[in-house]
Structure 1
Amino acid sequence: MSDFIDQTYKRVEQIIDYNNLNIKSFEDRIEVSNNSIGTAIRRKASFKSNVLNKILNSFPDINPTWLLTGKGSMILNDITREPESDYKNQKLQYQIKEHLIELLLEDNEVRSVLSNQVKSIIN
């Protein structure tokens, strides 16, 4: 038999404090009915999955594992962020590089220097 006690309400309180919010503004931000979070915290009750999803969608830096289990850190760092955000960053970096190259190649002097450097590398 497990001795598991759901203490998600404590972690929700930490999120509220970390973001310098009061319960009302937190409820507004995650779009739940008034006093639902406050009541759950006072009763030390569990939260339904739809409320947890709303919290995670409204606060994307919150570590889902921490919210559900208390394990790990509250805030995601760059290493633990979703791979999708890494892909978006790489795509953006690639687009910036392409744009810079286009700008550089518009200048005849720069184009000539780059062309000579490429020729010297090839030869």
Structure 2
Amino acid sequence: MVNIEDFIKRLEVILDYYGLNASSFADNIGVQRSSLSHLLSGRNKPSLDFILKILEVYPEVDLYWILNGKGSFPKVSVNQEISSRSSSSVHSANQEVVPPGIASTDKAIVSKINTNIQDATTYGSDKESEIDKIVIFYKDGTFKSYHP
């Protein structure tokens, strides 16, 4: 059974990830704005049609993650997971950026983020990009946002 409160949190994660408000999200997936409002307030439960519309418009959303918090968001393909695992051992010599307020249990996550940041900056080294936000997603459906 889908825990509605947790589902709402995961839906809010999607909205935050794409930088959308509820109205534009409803328009994008083709549902009435009031339907999404009722879902976000906990008044209504999501229908199968609603879930399928999200998956159709946003293929990065994993079905099992949106329904019960298992899996990841954005969806990680097998190739991406293997790539990030193999590159994490290369990064140890570089200085890590640890945002304020990170708990010691989150150090492994920060290390992996730093690895991916290093890979991204190496890949796009001709352009200098500044990090706007780092979001850490937990298996229980919660998340933390850091603005370096």
Normalised by the length of structure 2, the TM-score is: 0.48
Which residue in the other structure is 2:3 paired with? 5
Counterpart Cα distance in 2 of 1:71 and 1:43: 21
Give the aligned residue type for 1:50: D
Counterpart Cα distance in 1 of 2:79 and 2:57: 18
Give the aligned residue type for 1:61: E
Q: How big is each residue's C-alpha offset from its partner over 1:44-68, in whole Å with a ceiling of 9 and x where there is no partner?
A: 5420000000001010011111011
| Root-mean-square deviation over aligned CA pairs | 2.2
Counterpart Cα distance in 2 of 1:59 and 1:37: 16
**More strand per residue:** 2
Counterpart Cα distance in 1 of 2:31 and 2:21: 14
Deviation at 1:33, TM superposition (A): 0.9
Deviation at 1:69, TM superposition (A): 0.8
Structure 1 gap segments, 5+ residues each: 82-123
* 1:39 to 1:66, Cα distance in 2 relative to 1, 3 A: same
Deviation at 1:38, TM superposition (A): 1.6
Q: Looking at CA atoms only, which structure, 1 or 2, has the larger radius of gyration?
A: 1
**More helix per residue:** 1
Deviation at 1:28, TM superposition (A): 0.4
Normalised by the length of structure 1, the TM-score is: 0.57
% identical equivalent positions: 30
Give the aligned residue type for 2:7: T
In the alignment of these two chains, the number of paired residues is: 79
- Runs of 4+ aligned structure 1 residues displaced above 6 Å come to none
SS in 2 for 1:71: coil
